[in-house]
Every structure is written in C-alpha cells, then in structure tokens.
Amino acid sequence: MTEPKPTEFIQTPSQTVGPFYGFALPYERGPELVPGRHPHAIRLHGTVTDGAGDPVPDAILELWQADETGAISREQGALDRDGFTFTGFGRAAVDQAGHFTFTTVKPGSVGGGAPYIVVTVFARGLIHHLFTRAYFPEDAEAHRRDAVLGAVPPARRATLVCVADGHPGGTPSYRFDVRLQGADETVFLDFDA
Amino acid sequence: MTMKDHTSQSEINDEMRAIEAEARARVDDGGAPELHPRRNYPPYRSSILRHPTHELVRVDPEEVELFSPAFGHTDVNVLESDLTIQHRGEPLGERMTVSGRVLDGEGRPVRRQLIEIWQANAGGRYVHKRDQHPAPLDPNFTGVGRVITGENGEYSFTTIKPGPYPWRNHLNAWRPAHIHFSLFGTAFTQRLITQMYFPGDPLFALDPIYQSITDPAARARLVGTYDHDLSVPEWSLGYNWDIVLTGPKATWMESEEAHD
C-alpha cells in the first residue's frame, strides 16, 4: 500500500446536533462535575438566547476544565459519576426556558494564566458547534494579561466573564448567559486559526 | 419549536443553488474550498437567528483545550455498539454494520476515544418525545449506541438503516436518512458532532442541512460507502465511513512520523 498523502486527511464536516438528541447525549448526573455537597462546589448556570432574544429550548452544552489546583484530569471514565473522581467534563441540556445548570468547582490557574472553563454549545440551527470560555469576575487582574481576552475587542470582553450572582444554599453561583446573536452576542472562539 | 414555513421546495432549491454558485465562484477565483458548513445558511431556517453575526475570534488553544476527556471501558459496555440487541425482540428494518476509523488531521488513529451515535428507526421516527412524525415507534429499537475506538482508531456499530423523515423547515421537507455521530479527539478543539449519510440518497439535493456544506467534495465526506466485503452473508449489509478530526496542532511539532 502506498503511503497516504497528507491531503487525504481532510477533516470531516460538521452537521447540526438537531433537536432529537435528548434520548442519546444526556447522561446520568452529566451536569454535576462535582456533587452539590462538595465543599467547594459552585453553580455555573445561564440561558441560551437567539437573535430575537428568545430562549433556545433545544441547546446542549459541554464543559471541559481543570480541577481546583489547575490540573487537567487524565482519569478514565469521564462519563462516570462515582461521587469522588473529578474528570473535568460535564454535559447539560437546557430546559424549556433555555436555561442550563452545572455544578462544578472553580478551576485553578493552569500555567499561571487566568482560570476559565471551556464551554461548547450545540443546538438545532447551529450547523457547527460553538466554542467559548467562561472566565471569573474576581480574576480581573489576571484577565489583563490573558492572550485570548486580549484578542477580543474590549467592548465584547464582558461576554466571556461570568457574573457572580449570590450564594443560593451557601453555594457560590456564577451566571454565564450565551447569546447566539444580538447586541451582547457572546464571543465565540476559533481554535483553528 | 419550529414555526411552519410555507416556502416551497423549489424556492429552497433556488436559494441553495444560488449560494453554491457563489461559493464555486469564490473557489474559481482562488479561494479555499469551505470544509465545513456555512454557519449562516438561510435555506436552513433555524440557522438564521442562531448563527453568530460576528466573526469568530481566532486564538491559539491553550493547555486545557489541547487535552480532552479520557473515556474508557468503564464508560461504555461493549454491548452498546449493537443497537439491535437492546430489547427483547429484533428491531424491524434493514440490518447493517457501520465500520470505519477515526483519524486526526495527520492521519493518525484517534485511540480509545468515545463515539456516540443516535438515529431514527426504520420508519423514520425518533424515540425523542418531541418527534411528532406519525410513523410507528419500534418497541425493539431505541437508536442509541456508544463505542470506544480501538488501537487503530477503529469502530463498528451494528444497527438498522434509519428511514428518512419529514421536518418543518419548508413545505414537504424531508431529511435524507442519516446517523448522528458525536466524536472526541485527543484535544478538545477536535470535538465534532456530525451526521453520516447513505450513498445515492435522492434527498441530498433537496436537504438544506446537507447542502449547508457548499463544497460538493466536502459534502461527499459525510456519505458512507457500501462495502460488500463488510456485508455478512444472510445477516447484514456493510457500510464503511472514516472520520477525520482537525489537528491537533499541539502534536504537529512533536510528530514522530516524517511526512513529505
């Protein structure tokens, strides 16, 4: 067999997740990267809205992040929820009001940078998923040195930073709304530059 | 949910042909073919209010994005790759296998990673509660499968061929038969959700989701190949479909394999 040329490995195109993933992609306790009783649990929640400002009732989001110390989990079993192992991955479908809720921990700094969570958005109508990042409002100092935030027009940076919105039941809560279009359209990232 | 749109198929066809002609003209002028679908593809009505209107911000992935969740055999039972054995009886439909490999942009196998699939039954009906298509549910078919890729990036599912189904994008809109695939690479930047189609489907030319990929060669990468060698005598028909993920960039520099 001849050695395949690099040009033969052209990426497979994306297609929409569609509306009917509900019996397939969500998995048990997928939105709980840590159990709610974890001493450092935080809530990360928000609403996905479209260009008319209406909630998107059929979006599904994934989180991928470092642990509290900034370590990236290499634990197998990222879909497992044994109650103790932090695998850094979570998945949550929105409800009818376009709202999602994750329970996780705030990631530590990786390599000295500003902490953030990778957020991926899928939905009917999104033919290609969208990547973004959720940063934390208390890290403003580190944000000034962050390469990704630095690449974003200043007026749009705030869309990448969660809003602290209280401590329901003693758990720190952060709101991260995802606006697919509109005046405060969320900044989405292309890692393939 | 989806608003009923009374646009005719021929009007949708005209919109799709115009976009493809414009895309072809750009390639003829020396532009790169578009490997992925247009995010804003008005013939697919749901994309109109949901695509970002700003250019995506191009950034270099950092360490977090260059890793991916580690899936393993504790996540997936080996029986989950066979969608025909999940109930007491056999599902109705054309039994088949879909096999292939998951590769990265350098042609290297993506090993021990998760593939999730979901699909309609042979009548074109999903188990999903909001699927209103008046085709029968099959009590012996759910349409969900999972597998962990092997050492060569290989995978294989046994299932039944899904049926085409109607949707409300426009009047008399029908989706070509397809299986949804969800894939992870070694870097989170390689994450991919897509759909695999079947060769020769007469609905391809009419489907705005398939046609949202404006380059014909790129669209064709979503179509599995019928492979008679994969068919099992008196049992099942075999299809092959390989999937190529992006990059990952991080390993380009440290690639052990020389390539010219």
Over the stretch A62-118, which tens digit does the pLDDT of each residue have? 999 999 999 999 887 778 788 888 999 999 999 999 999 999 999 999 999 999 999
How far is Cα B186 from Cα B110, in angstroms, rounded to an integer?
7
Rounded to 10 degrees, the C-alpha dihedral B225/B228/B233/B235 comes to: 10
Identify the band that residue B47 occupies on the pLDDT scale cut at 50, 70 and 90: very high
All residues of chain B having their beta carbon less than 8 Å from the beta carbon of residue A10 are 35, 218, 221, 244
Whether B239 sits among the annotated catalytic residues: the reply is no
pLDDT band at residue B87 under the 50/70/90 scheme: very high
**What pLDDT shows up at residue B251?**
40
pLDDT-derived band at B5 (thresholds 50, 70, 90) equals confident
Give me the mean pLDDT over the B61-88 stretch. Answer: 92
The per-residue pLDDT for B253 is 38
Model confidence over A48-70: pLDDT tens digits? 999 999 999 999 999 999 999 99
Q: Distances from the Cα of B167 to the Cαs of A54, A96, B128, B150, B202, in angstroms?
A: 21, 20, 14, 36, 16
In this complex, the residue of A4, A9, A24 whose CB is nearest that of residue B118 is A24
Distance from CA of A87 to the nearest CA of B (A): 7
Confidence band for B256, pLDDT divided at 50, 70 and 90: very low
Q: Given this model, what pLDDT does residue A163 score?
A: 98
- Identify which of A19, A175, A10, A116 has the alpha carbon closest to the alpha carbon of residue B44: A19
Domain formed by A21-179, architecture: Sandwich (2.60)
* A57 contacts B51? CB cut-off 8 A: no
- pLDDT recorded at residue A7: 53
Q: Average pLDDT for residues B129-153, to the nearest whole number?
A: 93
Is there a contact between A103 and A43 (Cβ–Cβ < 8 Å)? yes
Per-residue pLDDT, averaged over B172-180, amounts to 98
| pLDDT reported for residue B252 | 39
Of A9, A79, A181, the CB nearest to B103: A9
Give the pLDDT score at B257: 40
Residue B138 reports pLDDT greater than 70: yes
* ipTM value > 0.90: yes
Are the Cβ atoms of A129 and B106 closer than 8 angstroms? no
Give residue-wise pLDDT tens across range B158-169: 999 999 999 999
Of A23, A128, A148, the CB nearest to B128: A23
Contact B143 A24 (CB under 8 A): yes
Segment B62-79 shows an average pLDDT of 90
The CATH number of the structural domain formed by B9-244 is: 2.60.130.10
What is the tens place of the pLDDT at every residue in B216-254? 999 999 999 999 999 999 999 999 999 999 976 544 333
Q: According to the model, what pLDDT value does residue B120 have?
A: 97
Which residues from chain B sit within 8 angstroms of residue A185, using beta carbons?
Answer: 52-54
Is B170 noted as a catalytic residue in this protein?
no
Shortest Cα–Cα distance, B16 to chain A (Å): 15
A172 touches chain B (CB under 8 A): no
For chain B, the structural domain boundaries read 9-244
Q: How far is CA A126 from CA A70, A131, B152, B158, B207, in A?
A: 31, 12, 31, 28, 15
Examine the pLDDT at B260 and tell me if it is beyond 60: no
> What pLDDT shows up at residue B65?
95
Residues 25-44, chain A: which have Cβ within 8 Å of B?
25
A88 touches chain B (CB under 8 A): yes
Q: Which residues of A touch B221 (CB under 8 A)?
A: 10, 12-13
Q: Closest by alpha carbon to B70, among A156, A42, A87, A134?
A: A87
What is the DSSP code string of B190-239?
G-EEEEEE-TT-TTGGG-HHHHTS--HHHHHTTB-EE-GGG-BTTTBEEE
Which residues of chain B neighbour A77 with C-beta distances below 8 Å? 70-72, 74-75
CB contact under 8 A, B51 and A193: no
Name the pLDDT band for B4 (thresholds 50, 70, 90): low
In this predicted model, what pLDDT tens digit does every residue of A130-178 receive, in sequence order? 999 999 999 999 999 999 999 999 999 999 999 999 999 899 999 999 9
Question: Which pLDDT does position A137 carry in this prediction?
Answer: 98
Mean confidence (pLDDT) of chain B: 92
Q: pLDDT class for B3, splitting at 50, 70, 90?
A: low
Residues of B in contact with A111 (CB under 8 A): 62-63
Q: Determine which one of B125, B170, B178, B219 is catalytic.
A: B178
